[in-house]
Amino acid sequence: MLLATSQDAASLELLPDDVLIRIIYFVPPAENLSVLQLLSHRFRTLAGNQLLWKGHCLKAFRYWHPRHYLKDKLQLRTSEVDWRALFIKRKTQNDKIAALLERIIQTRQSRVARIGQICKFGYDAKDYLLSQIKSDETICDFLARRQFSQDALSSIHRSVAIAEWQRVRDRQRDNGSNARLLERSLTAFDMFVLYDDVGDIDEMSTLLDELAAKFLSRQLNWQTMTTRDKALRLNNWLRQRNLTGISVGDFSNLRNSLLGQALRHPEHESNPNISSSIYCALAERVGINAQCFLAPMMVHVIVTPPDGESLDGTAGTTQSYMFLDPWGSEGEAPLRHLEELTSRFGLNIGDLIGAGTPGGVTERASNNIEVCCVRNLRTSTSRNVARLIKGNDIVNLHSCLYAVKWARALFAQPYTLLWNQRVSDLLRFAIQHWPEDSWAIREYAGQLPPTDVLQPALAQLEAFHKDVMTADSISPTVYANPLPASRVAPFKIGQVFRHKRFNWIGAITGFYAIEPPSWEQFDAEGEVTAMTSDEEVKGRFYVKCLRMDGIEQPVVAPANICILTDAETIDEDRFPTAGKFFKRFNEDTCEFVSNLQEEYPNL
C-alpha cells in the first residue's frame, strides 16, 4: 500500500498543493486509482489532474487504435480531454485481453474465437501482447504464452495491412500515382513479417519523413534549383548512402522485395521496384513530382516538372520528362535505351507513362515476392536468401506468400473470374496455416458490395468462417485420444528425435492409433514398410511431429525415430511454432513440456 496508516495521509494533507502534485507524479497509476483518490476530496482532485493522466497514458501505452484519434487529442488543450477515463479504458481492455490469453493457453476449445476477440481490440492490444511475447523463460508456460501472443499480434498486423490495401485500392482511383499511397501499400507486405519488431506502416512513414528532412538539411539553395538538378541531386544522395541498389549476386534475397526491410536492414538492399519506390516516396516529400515507370523486365522513375515549366526551369507548355534508375545508376537514364527495351515487347514509352500506380507497383512487388518464396520453398538450397531482420526463414517465406495472396485478392475487381480464382487460392492457403485470421476474413467478406449473382468465392468466404468456428467450438473431450502410455512406449509427447532416414530433427506432438486415410501424410514413400510385417494392425501406431526449422507436421513410423537426450544439441528457438503444442523446454530431460493434455490425457 502507498499509505500504511491514516496518520500518513493526514501528514500529507499538511503539504501545499504544488508539493503534493509532485509527489503524486511518482505514484503508480494503479495505486493512484485504488488508494490515493479514496483518501479525501482534496486527494481525489489533485490525483485526478488531467495533465498527470495524460502523462500516464503516453507512458503506459505506446500503440493506439485509430478510433481514439490520439493525434487529434494531443492537439487539444489537456483540460479538453478526459485522460483519466481514457487510461482506465485502456487498462480495463488490457485486463480483458489478459483473461482471454490465459484461456487461450489453457484450452484449445474456442481458441480461434478468443484470438479473434483480442484482435478486434486492434492496436490497443499491441502493448500487452508485446509484453507477453517477451515473457521470461522462468515462466512455466512461456513458449505457449509467447506463441499465442505472437499469433494474435501477427493477425492484428495482417488486418492492418489488409485495411491499408483496401484504402489504397479505393483511393488510387482518385489520386492516381500518389507516392504516399504507394509507400503504405508496399509497407503492408512487411506487416506479415513484423513480429514484435518496430517498422509498421506508420513507423516507416516517419522514417521516410526523417530521411527527407536529413536530405533537405544538406541542400543549399534547394528552392532555386531546376527540377532536373533536384531529381539528380536526390538520386545521388540516395545512392551515396546505400539506400538503393543491391550487392552482386544477392538479387533474389527476399528482403530486397520488402520496402520496410530495405529501409531498416543495415545494408539497405532493394530490387529495382523497391529502389524506385523509395525514390518516389522521398521525392514527394521534397517537392519533386516523380512516379514509378513500369515496363516489362524493368522499373525506373519518371520525373516531370511543374505545370508551365521545363525540366531546366524555363517557361514552356510542352510536356517534358526525364527518367532515372535509382537502382542502377546516378545519372539520367538514356531515353534511347528505354525505347529499345520497351519496343522489344511491342510497346512504346507513351503507353507506359501513368502505369506506375500504387496498385500496379504493388502487383509487381507481389510477383517478385512470389518468385522468391516459391523457388525457395521448392528447393533445399541455403535459406540465407529468405533471411529477414526477424523470424524463422521458412515461416517468413510462407508469411510473405500469404501476403501476396491477400494483396492479389484485394486488388482484383470483386465478382470477376480473376477475383474468384484469387479468393479461392487465398482461402486454401489460410485454412492450412492461419485459421486465426478467420475474423479478418469474415470482416472482408462483410465489406464486399452486395450482389444477386451466385459467386463461388463469396460462398467460400462465408463457409470458411463457419467451418473454422464450428471446429473451434467442439469440446476438447471429442479430441481426447484413448491411447495408453504403454501402447506407445517408449515414446511420449514432447520428446525430441532425429529421423533415421533423413536426419532432420523433430518433436513428437501426437500419435495415430490407426492408419491415416491417406499415405500422402507420410514424410517419405515407404514409411509404412518400416513397421514389422508380423505386427498386428490393432497395435500399429504412427507418430505426429513438428519439424525443426519449419512448420511442417509430418507423420512418421516409430521405427524411423531416434530419441535425442542431449539438450545441448537442441536449440528450442529453432522450433518456430513449438508454443502451439508445448509450454516450455525442459533441458534436464531434453523434452518439451506438453500443452496437449486435452487431446492426449494419458501421454
Instruction: Write out pLDDT tens, residues 543-587.
Output: 999 999 888 899 999 999 999 999 988 887 789 999 999 999 999
Look at residues 322, 346, 367 and tell me which one is the last residue of a structural domain. Answer: 367
Last residue in a domain, options 367, 390, 422: 367
Confidence class for position 486, pLDDT limits 50, 70, 90: confident
Res 522: pLDDT: 46
- Summarised one tens digit per residue, pLDDT across range 47-102 is 788 999 999 999 999 999 999 999 999 999 999 999 999 999 999 999 999 999 99
In a domain, 259, yes or no: yes
Does residue 410 lie within any of the structural domains?
no
Q: Residues with Cβ < 8 Å from 599, sequence gap 6 or more?
A: 108, 476, 479, 480, 481, 510
Same domain, yes or no, for 353 and 498? no
Q: In whole angstroms, what is the distance from residue 588 CA to residue 144 CA? A: 19
Whether residue 214 is found in the same domain as residue 353: yes
pLDDT of residue 44: 76
Whether residue 16 is preceded by a cis peptide bond, meaning omega within 30 degrees of 0, is: no
Mean pLDDT of 479-486: 80
User: Does residue 332 form part of some domain?
Assistant: yes
Residue 577 inside a domain? The answer is yes
At residue 9, the pLDDT reads: 57
Instruction: Give pLDDT tens digits for 356-400.
Output: 999 999 999 999 999 999 988 887 555 567 889 999 999 999 999
- Judgement on whether residues 354 and 489 belong to the same structural domain of the protein: no
Q: Greater confidence, 492 or 521?
A: 492
Helix (H, G, I), strand (E, B) or coil at 434: coil
> Which one of 367, 390, 415 terminates a domain?
367
Q: Is the pLDDT of residue 593 over 90?
A: yes
- Give residue 324's domain range: 177-367
CB-count burial class (<10 Å; 0-12, 13-18, 19+) for 136:
exposed
- Which DSSP string do the residues of 365-395 spell out, in sequence order? HHHHHHHHHHHHHH--S-GGGG--SSS-HHH
pLDDT in tens, 321-361: 999 999 999 999 999 889 988 899 888 898 888 889 999 99
Does a structural domain hold residue 17? no
Residue 28 confidence class, pLDDT cut points 50, 70, 90:
confident
For residue 524, the model assigns a pLDDT of: 46
- What pLDDT band is residue 24 in, cutting at 50, 70 and 90? confident
